[in-house]
Structures are given as C-alpha cells and as structure tokens.
Structure 1
C-alpha cells in the first residue's frame, strides 16, 4: 500500500467514530424504525456530541447507510491504482485483498450487517437508496478497473470481475452473519474466491 493511502491515527479514530455511529443507528432503526429514536440517543450511546454527529452525517438516514461512499471510494481507488496494472486474475485478487483490508480496519461485527439488513427491510426508502448506491458503486468499479487495465468500461472482462466481486461479497456477508458461522470474513471471502476459481477451471464440454 502506498504511504499516502495509509490512514493516520487521527483518521483511524475518526473512522471508528463513524463506524460506531452507524452501528448504533442501524441497531435502533432495526428495532424501532427511523422515527423511533433521536439523534441524541445515538450520540449518547457513542458518547459524542450532537455537533460531532453532524460532522459525520447529515441525517439519521445517512448514518444508517454508513460512511461517505465518495470518501470510501477515493481511498479504495488510490490503493487499487497504486498496485499497478496486471493480468486479469490479479485484478480480482487486488480487489478482494483491498476489500478485506477495508473490512478488517472497520473491525466488522456480524451484528452490524444483520442490523443493516433488518433496517433496510423495515424502511423501504432506505432500501431504495441502498440499491441506488450499490449500482453507482458497480459503475465506479467498472471505471476504476477499465482505467487501470487500459480497456473500455464495457469490456466483458471488466463487467465479469465486477459481477463476481459483487456476488462474492454478498454471499460471504450472508455466511459471516449466520449464527452457526465460526470463521472470520477474510477466510470466508478467500475460500469463496478459491471455490469459484476451481469451478471455472473445469473445461466446458
């Protein structure tokens, strides 16, 4: 990872505060709905001021969705480009590695993902917004990969990698939050990637 992409202690602390605000907002939304709690309750749970909350998020809805998608994307893009162009299998490896780094840096708790799913189910407008953000992120990833590899965004290899990444992340998250699961997210994701490549390596008839 390039030096500029390595978060400082202050940045890590700020990121953790955002993660904590999101975790509480998701839990309360899952339990009561958006109208069932106040921003002050979230702040009290995280031990921050109302002013601090608004330094991170403009509303409860934003807190539930999570960290600023544009900020996350800029960090991810910088790290991805720093690894340089390579063979297509390496592109997917780099994306998976960076996804794991990001998730581990947030100390992902299974309950946070479970609460998000419950919150989205309870609040349809949040679900619509989340779907929109996911679609925008897929478009961003296509552009990111295309730029690094020197091809068009509609290149079948670009489209395939984004589809595989999206599918692996979703299935791994579902496994991670399963009550009977005893593996960390990185193990689940890398195992899923290995299984996918094993299946695709079988010659077609």
Structure 2
C-alpha cells in the first residue's frame, strides 16, 4: 500500500515531501516545536519523525545542554519537595488553576542518570505499546517529544488500554490531547501538575515540569 506520513500516520492525500524513505504531507511539514511551516533548506531532522526549524533546534540544543536547575537526585527526594497550594495561576505560563506547584529544586550530583532512567522507562513502555497499536509513538527528550500530547496518551494506554480512546487522540489537536491525558491520569490519582497551555504555549516546554509529571505517572503505573 502507499506509505504513511511520518507525522500524522495517515496514508491518504498527497505525500509531497520525502526525506529518504520517509514521507510527509505538506501540511505536516512543520516544526514540531513552534508548528511553523518549514523550508527544505532550514529544517533539522532530530529523529523519531521530529523536524525543527533552525531557530528552535538551536534553542532546544542550548536547553538540553544546560544542566542548571533541571537535575534530581532521586524520585523520592523530588516528590518530597512538591508542595500543595491553591494558586490562581500556573507556575509555568501564568494560566490555569493547577492544584499543585513545584518548589525550587536543588541541583544534585548523579541526577542526569536518574533522568536517563526515566526516559528509558518511557521508551520501553511506548515500545511495548507498539506491539498492539499501529503508528508507534517515540520520545527522545523531556521537552518537544511531549508537546502534541500523544506521548502522554500513549504512555497511559500502554498500561491502561481501556483508559484511552486512540481514535479520539488521532482526531484532536495538541491542547485537547494534553487535556485528555491529564484528565484521564487524574482518574488514577495522578496530580495535575500541568495544564495544556504549560506545554503548548512554549517553544520549548519546561523540562523540569514534564519530568516531575512523568515521575507521578511512573508511580501510578508501577
């Protein structure tokens, strides 16, 4: 049959953009960070079907290389530093009304290893999900890989298949998918540390906030 678009996974329509053996609809040929249309000579392939404009690729590279304020000693030590409050604004974008905010976390040695273990856990869960679901979802970082909401939904589906309606996920936009994932996770007792706009409104979502939320998902799925 015809090849599927790397981004939307659909086989319908004209796949007018090709990179090697990978094909994209023109509408899907956009930066996965800022969602702007890409020029062929100003696109960076960061793997797993993700494409970024030069500006976002450079900015993300700086964020990922900066160790300050994004390191954790252990899951337990981080969870002890969460404090429940009743704010009127999100700590990330100043919007929404989350039930918790994240306290300032100290930098600890050895924390990069724990983050890598968490990322590998996510990747293993998503690989397991691919065994029963076409159109695999892959993650390579704690920022842009989660921006469209599908990775959160897929992670939940890997442990609780009845919790996620994947046909719904494929039809929704990023904000709706994020809200869907956070709402469904809340039914498992996962605190809603993020609002959709905390992820969608930033070119590079806050890595620390996503790591903390994934730690809570890890607890619920253990």
Q: Same fold (TM over 0.5)?
A: no
Higher-helix-fraction structure = 1
**TM-score, with structure 1 as normaliser:** 0.29
Higher-strand-fraction structure = 2
* RCO comparison, higher one (Cα < 8 Å, 6+): 1
